[in-house]
Amino acid sequence: MLPVQTGRIPIGENVPARPLLIDGAFEPGSAEPFVILDPATGAPIDSVAAASPDQVDTAVNAAVRAQHLWWGASQPERSAALHAVAAEILQRKQELADLVTRETGRPFSRNLLYVDMIADLFRQYAELARVHGGRIVPSNESGQLSLVVRAPYGVVATLVPWNYPLLLLAFKVAPALATGNTTVIKPASETTLTTLLLAEVFAAATPPGVVNVLAGSGRTVGEQLVGHPHTDLVAFTGSTEVGTHIGATCGRMAKPAHLELGGKDPAIVFDDVDADLAAKAVVWASFLNAGQVCTSTERVYVHRRVHDQFVDRTVQLASQLRVGDPFESQTQIGPMRNQRGRAKVLEQLAAAQAGGAKVLTGGAIPEGSAGFYLEPTVVIDVDHGMELMKEETFGPVLPIMVFDDDDEAFALAADTPYGLGASCYTHTPDRVRRAYEEMSVGTVWVNDPVVDNLAAPFGGMRASGNARELGLEGMEAFTAMRHVHWNMRMEDKPWWYGENSG
């Protein structure tokens, strides 16, 4: 087993190089190294040498060779490998949770839960692939068999973001492997160490070349994988800006792109619910992972009759959240991942305040803090002329806007190019119906926000992408439908051309 460095250790001469996984072997990157910072301190954790263009080619070619053997194996063999991956993940649970905490800044207690979830995903798709491979459809004539089978695309370029580096990797890699694809994974630069640690698990449980893990930037390694002639599908989670660029590249190559992109999820709080309880739910949905979740509640619309009570309770809850070291058991909110993201949030807040918005709590960097911390923030007197209400924030900010009737609420919630998710707090069935019929989003949560059900599809619409992950749909997304028309008797057909045909 390769050594894994944990703890906040600065870069030094004695720190071993972090190897990449290429064709079943671990080797150091050949390109320029990059530094990974601890978001809780701002200090370096480690550095990783990026993959060179030649190493990217080697990894893709290894995946091509391995794919034929992997798809040629029996489904029980592939499923057994996925169960082995899950077992090894659980065996190394503490180690994985520790490293992902250091790289993301998310509280350690949450990361322990997420490690369990990724093991669940590998087990789920190991079994789902055993029982779902296609269907038989009625034939045109007797003596014929019409099969609709699901076939793998081939080599999947998997591009994973930094906010949930293990979980969002599993969303893609588990169903891709279960259905006979191989993959080349490029993690985000900020969370490369966690993914290279997971590479040890893949190396122990899958044949060489089935899973390859590279390090590097999106502009170098990522671009090469997206445009590589031998990657057959690109699976990406990240910003809408980058995703549309990837989609355009894939479009020119007639290559499918599986895109899960940004969001600006609304929450609507109606006047028929407990405003205090709704405030508690919204605070959770807005500040989970310091607001760095694509499905974070980023704008809240509250009925005028309960607005003041909701705001008061929200401010009380947000101001009491414990911000601190992600390894401390009492910490609820850790740091943001990087300085760039925090600067963007502060710019949005400053612009909103210049336009008349009021910050009721938070909005500042905690005094004396190192790293990339930002206080949980509640804002009122906002409107849709502000960037804070239009563009993805991806930080610990909860802006609240008042509405007077249902039509206004749904119109405000729909006023966005994004379509990832929406939350609705009500006990009125007609309002729920309007939410799931009228809102162009992939998920509607009613009275229980930001919940992943591993058995149900997740994904967005419009500027939030085209992907569906999780559930049966998440497995089908990594396969192409193929129709097999089998006439069991070779016999002449009256419409075939022959001697007497006109």
In a domain, 6, yes or no: no
In a domain, 452, yes or no: no
Q: Are residues 341 and 223 in the same domain?
A: no
Q: Are residues 424 and 289 in the same domain?
A: yes
pLDDT tier at 3 (50, 70, 90 boundaries)?
A: very low
Segment holding 134, helix H or strand E: strand 134-137
How much is the average pLDDT of 193-211?
98
- Opening angle at CA 196, ends 166 and 260, nearest 5: 35
Per-residue confidence (pLDDT) for residue 17, from 0 to 100: 65
pLDDT tier at 390 (50, 70, 90 boundaries)?
A: very high
Residue 410: phi, psi to the nearest 5? -70, -35
Longest CA–CA separation in the chain, Å = 93
The tens digit of pLDDT for each residue in 213-266 reads 999 999 999 999 999 999 999 999 999 999 999 999 999 999 999 999 999 999
Contact 336, 292 (CB under 8 A): yes
**pTM recorded for the entire structure:** 0.94
User: Residue 104: is its pLDDT beyond 60?
Assistant: yes
Q: Are residues 148 and 41 in the same domain?
A: yes
Per-residue confidence (pLDDT) for residue 499, from 0 to 100: 74
User: Residue 376: is its pLDDT beyond 50?
Assistant: yes
Amino acid sitting at position 398: L
How much is the average pLDDT of 436-451?
97
pLDDT tier at 18 (50, 70, 90 boundaries)?
A: confident
Q: Are residues 332 and 346 in the same domain?
A: yes
Q: Which residue is associated with the tokens 């992600």? A: 326
The CATH code of the domain that includes 429 is 3.40.309.10
Segment holding 435, helix H or strand E: helix 429-438
> Any idea which residues carry the catalytic annotation?
260, 294
The CATH code of the domain that includes 86 is 3.40.605.10
Q: Are residues 187 and 275 in the same domain?
A: no
The set of residues, in sequence order, having a beta carbon less than 8 Å from that of 428 and lying 6+ positions away, is 270, 272
3-state DSSP call for residue 421? Answer: strand
Structure-block tokens of residue 298: 């980023």
Q: Are residues 256 and 270 in the same domain?
A: no
User: Residue 46: is its pLDDT beyond 90?
Assistant: yes
Q: Are residues 162 and 269 in the same domain?
A: no
Q: Are residues 214 and 363 in the same domain?
A: no
In a domain, 14, yes or no: no
Per-residue confidence (pLDDT) for residue 16, from 0 to 100: 56
Q: What DSSP assignment string belongs to 356-405?
A: T-EEEE--SPPTT--TT----EEEES--TTSGGGTS---SSEEEEEEESS
In a domain, 499, yes or no: no
Q: Are residues 365 and 288 in the same domain?
A: yes
The tens digit of pLDDT for each residue in 484-502 reads 999 999 999 999 998 765 5
Indicate the average pLDDT of the chain: 95
pLDDT tier at 312 (50, 70, 90 boundaries)?
A: very high
Q: Are residues 347 and 220 in the same domain?
A: no
How much is the average pLDDT of 78-91?
98
Range of the domain at 142: 19-261+465-484
Per-residue confidence (pLDDT) for residue 448, from 0 to 100: 97
How many domains would you assign to the chain? Answer: 2
